[in-house]
Every structure is written in C-alpha cells, then in structure tokens.
Amino acid sequence: MVFSSTIFLFAFLPILLILYFISPARCRNYILLIFSLIFYGWGGPSYLLLMIIVVTADYLFALFISMTEKKALRKLFLILTVAGNLGCLGYYKYTNFLIRNLNSIFGTDLTETRIILPIGISFFTFQAMSYVIDVYRKDVAVQKNPFYVMLYVSLFPQLVAGPIVRYKTVEDEILNRNIDIDEIAEGLERFMIGFGKKIIIANNTGALADLIFGMKSVDMPLAWVGAVTYTLQIYFDFSAYSDMAIGLGRIFGFHFEENFNFPYISKSVGDFWRRWHISLTTWFRDYIYIPLGGNRKGTGRMYFNMFVIWTLTGIWHGAEWNFILWGLYYFIFQSAEKLFLKKILEKIPRFFQHLYTLFVIVLGWVIFRCDDGLNHLIRYFKALFSFHINTGTSEILSAYFAKYGIYLFLGILFSIPIYRLIREALAEKLSGHKAAKIIFAGTGYLLVTGMFLISVLYLINSTYNPFIYFRF
C-alpha cells in the first residue's frame, strides 16, 4: 500500500483515524500496530512474516543483552543481531547480483534465484538493528513489551521508505502521547503538502524522465533535460514521502526528525549530504563512521573510513554497479573538498558555489538512474557532452515543454524554500495583528487544502504513480 493511493486515502486512513481517536489511550498503540501490519502486509503476507521474524529476533537479542553485564556475551548477541539483519538484507537484495557477477567473472552458469525483494527491507532492517545497537551501548533502555518494539519498527508512516527513525526519538512517545489539535492540524498540512509534491511534481517530472532515459539514443539537449528532470523527480518523490510520513506521525503524536532540508540550495557536496536523506547519513555516521575511528585516527584513516561509508552507501541503494559507482563518485568529490576544493569554493562567489554543486548533483543522479547496465550509463554520459543535436530534437523538446513545462517550473521553484520564507515573513509582519494573523493562517490552510484536492483529481485520472525508494 502507498500513501498516494485511493485505498489508503479513502479507506485505510479514515478508518484508522476514527478507531484511533475514539479509543481509550491504552488501546491506541495496539490499533496503530494492527493497522501498520495490515499496511505492510498489503503487499504480500510473506513480506509481513519476514518483518515479524526480523523484529522478533532483534527484540530477543536486545533483551538478552540487557540481562547480562558480561562483555563477551553482550558482544556475541550484538554480532548475532548484526549478522542476522545483514544476512537477511544480503540474501534478498544481493544474491542475484552476486550470481551475475560470479557468472561474468568466472564464466560459470549459476542460475539466478526467484527472489522478490521485500518492500522497504533496507529501511526496517537498519531501524531494527539500530535499536539493538543502542541497547548494547546503553543509549536507550531495553523495551520489554514486544508489541512496542514491533510498533517502533512497523509504524506505517515511516516503515517502507523512511525516514530511518531511532528508537530514542520515539521512546517516550510510544508510552506517552496526547491528542493535540494543533499538532493534528500541522500534521495534516504537512501530509497534504507532501501529497501535492508527490502527485503533481514528482509523478509528472518522473513521466518525462522515464521517456528520455528510456530512449535508445539521445542527443545533448535531450540528455540534459532528462538529467535535470530526474533530479527534480527523485527529490520530490523522496522528500514528499518524508513529508507525508512526518505529517502522519505528527497526527498520531510522533515527532520524526527531518529527512530533507532543501538540498539543491547547497554550496558544496558536503553541504548537500548534510541536507539530503539526513536519517541515512546520520545512521552511517553514528553506527559505522565514528566506530571505525571517524577523523580521530589520522588523515589516511579518515579517507579510508570515508571510502568504506560511501561504498556502503552505494551498495545500500541497490544491487547494481551503477549504485556502487555513484557512492564512489561522491567519495571522490567529498575527498577533493576536504583536500583542497573547499578552500577554493569559499573564495568564489556564492552563485558559482551553487552552480558547481548542482553540476555534481545532476551528474550523480545520471549515474544513479542508469541502472540497466554500464553501457547505458556510458552512452548517456557521452550524449551529455557530445555537443550533438539531432534533427527534430527542437520539435520533440517543444512538445515535452508544452506538456511538462509547468511541472518543471514548479519543481525548480519549490526546490528552494520560497514557501517557507514567504510564510515566515508574513507571519512576522502580522505578529501584532491577531485578526490578520488568523486570516493569514486560514488562507494558508485553504490553499494547501485546494492543492490537495487538485492532487486527488490528478491521482484519480492517472495510472502513473511510482515511488522510487520503495525498492530500497
């Protein structure tokens, strides 16, 4: 099930909201848990069974760790947890990738297995694993109620595409939450904004990106339009899901941390990764980079640790070589910035800092998008820098811009915090005028509601509704 579906909007969510808010406080966690399991199990009972097994195992290992102070035993249980989660993730996500590469390298004829990748497996295994690691580190107290651990991992807003929520973020809220009308209103607004970003911008830019990347050959103008269009699609697709997840969490009394902070206004690659998929970046930092020594053990070790992190980041995103290349691509640029490039960037005008960063980002998304073989990636990069224009390209682009131009414009416009800046400026200006402030707030809610209703009409009239990060 996805947020941007009629079954979710008109059946699942209304029924859940009614049952949740009419029920006594002591029942609400269990209602959320039941509906979260239904939400995930909608894609297939086998997916649900796998997640329950993973979470149950992590619950037990965390309990075992809390019951002993013997370092050897605690470490053993931790190793078993990590091995179990990574083994599960590795089997479902990377088995066929390994078989293909063994066949290619050694000329073998191993048969690929029929493995269906469980939705969101990279997210819920990382989330469940972080809970056990935090119990081992004594950063959080063990949760003895298995249903609460299951709720933490399976909570439907963030289950299948993040953000990756730490247990300590929601530990208190699992036990103590109050119904707050203002929080519910803010959550609904955030959900509707995310829904609009997804349906209006991400889906339409995605349709154009698929057209161009699906062509057997493209010239330079088409290649750049495709690259920029996909850059918009992936941001609005993923950030929209995070907006909806955060908004839904707020409705039910949970406060998830932000996952995006307008990454396309970044002034460097390092700045970009402090703004993009923040929950994954901090997860790798806290659970791998710092334990490896971070930047505390000398320059050489720091770059080695960065290499490990970026390789793993690429592998986490997918079982294809382009994802690994994408990770190493960012390792090269972040290393260059640490070595010398950052000092140069700080001396040039801010406009050129943004231009450099966007250039790197757009090329990076081309690497990320060309996931059907390295030949496709090579052909596309050649087209980007070929300076070749085919006959008829201007007519094709005119047709594309006539159909999709408004969505490209909206994507570029809302990639910067214009809505937030205008809203904050007006709120500050009207702070001393109570009546005007109420009118302003009401107008804002009406605009967002109007956008949401338009988005629903788009959804009903369209069959194109992918979510990029579901496969991770």
Give the Cα separation of 84 and 53 in Å (integer): 10
**Residue 59 neighbours by CB distance under 10 Å:** 24
Active site residue 317: yes
Q: Choose the catalytic residue: 255, 277, 317, 433.
A: 317
Asked if residues 39 and 1 have their Cβ atoms less than 8 Å apart, the reply is yes
- Please count the CA atoms within 13 angstroms of the CA of 219 that sit on its side-chain side: 11
DSSP conformational letter for 110: P
pLDDT (tens digit per residue) in 347-366? 999 999 999 999 999 999 99
Alpha helices by DSSP H, listed for 176-297, are 181-196, 203-213, 220-251, 269-275, 278-284
Per-residue model confidence (pLDDT) at position 307: 97
Q: Produce one character per residue of 367-380: b if its CB has 16 or more CB atoms within 10 Å, e if not.
A: bbbbbeeeeebebb
Domain ranges, ordered by start, for the chain = 6-177, 183-460
Asked if residues 366 and 385 have their Cβ atoms less than 8 Å apart, the reply is no
Tokens of 455: 């988005």
Radius of gyration of the chain (CA): 23
> Is residue 163 reached through a cis peptide bond, with omega within 30 degrees of 0 on the bond before it?
yes
The residues, ordered by sequence, that sit 6+ positions from 298 with a Cβ below 8 Å of its Cβ are none
Asked if residues 234 and 365 have their Cβ atoms less than 8 Å apart, the reply is yes
Give the Cα separation of 315 and 21 in Å (integer): 41
Give the Cα separation of 39 and 98 in Å (integer): 31
Asked if residues 437 and 430 have their Cβ atoms less than 8 Å apart, the reply is yes
pLDDT along the chain (472 residues), means of 10: 88 96 94 95 86 95 95 96 95 93 89 87 93 96 96 92 90 90 93 95 95 92 97 96 96 95 96 96 96 91 96 93 96 96 93 97 96 88 91 92 96 90 76 72 85 92 75 62
Tokens of 183: 């929080």
In terms of phi and psi (left: phi > 0; alpha: psi -120 to 50; beta: otherwise), the region of 300 is: alpha
DSSP conformational letter for 469: G
Asked if residues 433 and 83 have their Cβ atoms less than 8 Å apart, the reply is no
Can you tell me which residue has the tokens 């009546």? Answer: 435
Give the Cα separation of 434 and 134 in Å (integer): 46
Give the Cα separation of 330 and 240 in Å (integer): 24
* Residue 77: C-alpha distances to residues 62, 166, 464 (Å): 8, 20, 45
pLDDT (tens digit per residue) in 361-401? 999 999 999 988 788 999 999 999 998 888 889 999 999 99
Give the Cα separation of 273 and 390 in Å (integer): 36
